[in-house]
Amino acid sequence: MKILATIRKELLLLLRDMGGLAMIFLMPLILVTVMALVQDAPFRDYQDLKFQVLYVNNDKDSLGEVFEHSLREAKNLELVTNVNGLSITKEQASELVHSGKYKAAIILPQNASKTLNKKVKHSVAQLMANFGFGDEVKDTVDNREIAIELVFDPVTKVNFKLAISNAIEKIAANAQSKLIIENLKTQMAALGSEQKKQVIDFSNSLVVKETEQPSTAIATTNSVQHNVPAWTMFAMFLILFPLAGNFIKEREEGSMLRLRLISGSSFPVIAGKYLFYFMICLLQFALMMAIGIYLLPKLGLARLSLGTNYEGVVLTAMAVGIAATAYGLLVAVFFKTHHQALAFGSVSVVLLAALGGVWVPTYVMPPTLQAISHFSPMSWGLEACNDLFLRNANTAAILPNILRLVCFGGVLLILSFVIYKSRETKG
Amino acid sequence: MSIAIALNKVVKTYTGAKQPAVQGLSLQVNEGEIYGLLGPNGAGKSTSVMMICGLTPYSSGEINVLGFDAKNKSATIRSLIGVAPQEIALFPTLTAAENLTYFGNMYGLRGKKLRETIAHYVEAFGLTSKLNEQVASFSGGMKRRLNLIAALLHEPKLLIIDEPTAGVDIHSRNLIIDILKGLNHKGMTILYSSHLMEEAEKLCTRFGIIDEGKLIAEGTREELLQQNTNCKDIEELFLHLTGKSMRD
């Protein structure tokens, strides 16, 4: 009954504390929405975004057409062949890219098709002569490279540059292969070979197939899948502010003294506070998940996927709640003043968040930081969420992280009681 | 006459302190009296009160409250006593009713009995109309009265009050003194700690004056003034015994 009375009292106090309510519910809501929106583009990693790329076709022949056709098929590129109704020159393209108006320009040299055709024809003839078909080739061919120029905006990310370069190289290789096959067929036909009747097609012989997801996976990582659970961990640990703030305020104002004067009141008071803020943590978790599911899609972002293991999701929320509330309680009992508690609290929560992969995923951190990140309770919570949301893990798979969080919470809780009792005894 | 509080050669030395806060203090509060524990700042009044309540452990000596040893039975003692500390030990954003209900619940009271007790005391202390208002909006006197009610909810046998009228107007002060006298008439023992000598003289039946952690005088008003014939009241006696120099 005393615990319930304390829970009721804490609820009344919180309902009348607009600042505390904002800190617990409004701030995380804004934080997760803003961060998901801001980090949406970097998380897409140029896969879903369309970039305008200038295309200068100085070849004006078959190779130029092949390139234009292939580049238009690339889903993340929007090919721009003329500006203000006029076709672009190489110089104009370079200028436009360097001024930052376009991310890149692809410039095909003059006579690229003719030169390539000549080279291929010569090489095929030489090859056939080596095999004993046809006469020996005596004339020489121009050995200079056909250089396709790529111009990039200096601020362009390396990933984007690589993606464009790879795409161009792939188109060039394909075009070259096709031309070789065509020439081979033509020259063999000229020799009267039966081979001309056979279709030579290597296009489907070697293909790259992406199988990054196991059959159980249900979502891919994106801004929402990272930011919602990550900032939920952060928000839950922010519970230390109202918890420690109220605790120290009650100690300073004397109401804690009155409670100490009431027989056997330490346990129900502490337990009531702990349970109340633990429930607030669960409420925060539910609210943040609801934002990911219902609000963020309305802002043009992906919908948060919780996976199918809801029991695991509830377990994770409870485990993070246990750890976060215990952390807040320890700060509350350890520090004697508001100033000390809030200064330590804010710095430590930000540090735990940074190390735990809240700001940026741990896999992009240097190896040393990745190793350190395993000691952050936020990282345990986040890993459990990723396992559930992205890998559709079963409860057994998330159990190690759940146990870590519960043990962390348990140790801090015991420590809080020991410190509280020792201060109480010292008077 | 039974003894409500008995301190026998009690010593309390805080960790790191050069001097003991309380040095061999012995005093006795009889059941049914209002005992005025008087002393200048730093005399050891608060430490003594905290030791009696079982919140501060003592280094040596004996403390017995309502027949229970303060060292081993502090929880039992706390359930039998009511303490109104000098601080307004209330939650400012809760209403008077919410505060009293919460503290009542913490004393193990609930339901009709608690509601009736609250109604009785708020009526007696003139706070019925303010019951559903937040404490933050109360005047100093109203907060003091509510602070006192919170210590009375479980109807303690012994009431310990520290500066119960600090910062309140004359009307509130008189009301508080009248109510305390009324409670004492009904059999409640009161240990009263204050700097206000005039108020102590009006209220208390016996006095204990302590300084530098030691009891320097004890007795009724008449006994004390007989021992110091040059003093005409408790205030003069207090200044005579403790000196006129400033205390921090």
Residues A81 and A183 in one domain: yes
Q: How far apart are CA B162 and CA A283, in angstroms?
A: 42
Residues A268 and A417 in one domain: yes
Residue B45, token pair as written in the block: 């009044």
Query: Do the Cβ atoms of B56 and A427 come within 8 Å?
Result: yes
Task: Indicate the residue of A1, A255, A257 with minimum beta-carbon distance to B105.
Answer: A1
Q: How far apart are CA B246 and CA B248, in angstroms?
A: 7
If you measure CA to CA, which chain B residue comes closest to A7?
B102
Interface test with A, best of B106, B110, B114, B148 (most A CBs within 10 A): B106
Q: How far apart are CA A107 and CA A55, in angstroms?
A: 6
CATH number for the domain whose boundaries are B3-242? 3.40.50.300
Q: Do B1 and B165 contact (CB within 8 A), yes or no?
A: no
Give pLDDT, residue A287.
Answer: 93
Residue A363, exposed/middle/buried by CB under 10 A (0-12, 13-18, 19+)?
exposed
Give pLDDT, residue A205.
Answer: 65
Q: Using one digit for the tens of pLDDT, what is the confidence trace for A135-153?
A: 776 677 777 788 889 998 8
Query: Do the Cβ atoms of B91 and A13 come within 8 Å?
Result: yes
Q: How far apart are CA B125 and CA A4, in angstroms?
A: 28
Residues A241 and A375 in one domain: yes
Q: Where are the domains of chain B?
A: 3-242
Domain count, chain A: 2
The answer to whether residue A404 is domain-embedded is yes
Give pLDDT, residue A194.
Answer: 56
The answer to whether residue A210 is domain-embedded is no
Interface test with A, best of B14, B72, B105, B162 (most A CBs within 10 A): B105
Among residues A197, A231, A246, which one ends one of the domains?
A: A197
Residue A303, token pair as written in the block: 């919908």
The answer to whether residue A359 is domain-embedded is yes
Give pLDDT, residue B78.
Answer: 87
Among residues A148, A167, A197, which one ends one of the domains?
A: A197
The answer to whether residue A177 is domain-embedded is yes
If you measure CA to CA, which chain B residue comes closest to A427?
B56
Which residue is listed with tokens 């009267």?
A192
- Cα separations (Å) of B194 from A377, B7, B240? 51, 19, 17
Q: How far apart are CA B22 and CA B58, in angstroms?
A: 9
Please state, as a whole number, how many other Cβ atoms lie within 10 Å of the Cβ of residue A300: 8
Q: How far apart are CA A173 and CA A151, in angstroms?
A: 20
The answer to whether residue A77 is domain-embedded is yes
Give pLDDT, residue B95.
Answer: 95
Give pLDDT, residue A17.
Answer: 87
Q: Do B38 and B198 contact (CB within 8 A), yes or no?
A: no
Give pLDDT, residue B117.
Answer: 93
CATH number at residue A179: 3.40.190
Sort out which chain A residues have CB atoms less than 8 A from B94's CB and list them. Answer: 9, 12-13, 16
Q: Which domain holds residue A345?
A: 2-43+218-426
Residue A320, token pair as written in the block: 């993070």
If you measure CA to CA, which chain A residue comes closest to B103?
A259
Q: β-strands A86-87, A82-83: how paired? A: antiparallel
Q: How far apart are CA B88 and CA B96, in angstroms?
A: 12
Q: Do B210 and B25 contact (CB within 8 A), yes or no?
A: yes
Give pLDDT, residue A218.
Answer: 58
Residues A98 and A115 in one domain: yes
Give pLDDT, residue A326.
Answer: 95
The answer to whether residue A236 is domain-embedded is yes
- Which uninterrupted H or E stretch holds A10? helix A2-15
Q: Give the type of residue at B102.
A: Y
Which residue stretches of chain A have pLDDT < 70?
A: 42-49, 137-138, 192-220, 263-265, 425-427
- Which uninterrupted H or E stretch holds B69? strand B68-69
Query: Do the Cβ atoms of A262 and B87 come within 8 Å?
Result: no
Q: Along the 248 residues of chain B, how does pLDDT read in single tens digits?
A: 688 999 999 999 888 888 888 998 999 999 999 999 988 888 888 889 888 988 888 889 999 999 999 888 888 888 889 998 888 889 999 999 999 999 999 988 888 999 999 999 999 998 999 999 999 999 888 898 999 999 999 999 999 998 888 778 888 888 888 999 999 999 999 999 887 888 888 889 999 988 888 888 888 888 888 888 788 888 888 888 887 565 55
Q: Give the type of residue at A68.
A: E
Which residues 211-250 of chain A have a CB within 8 Å of chain B? 250
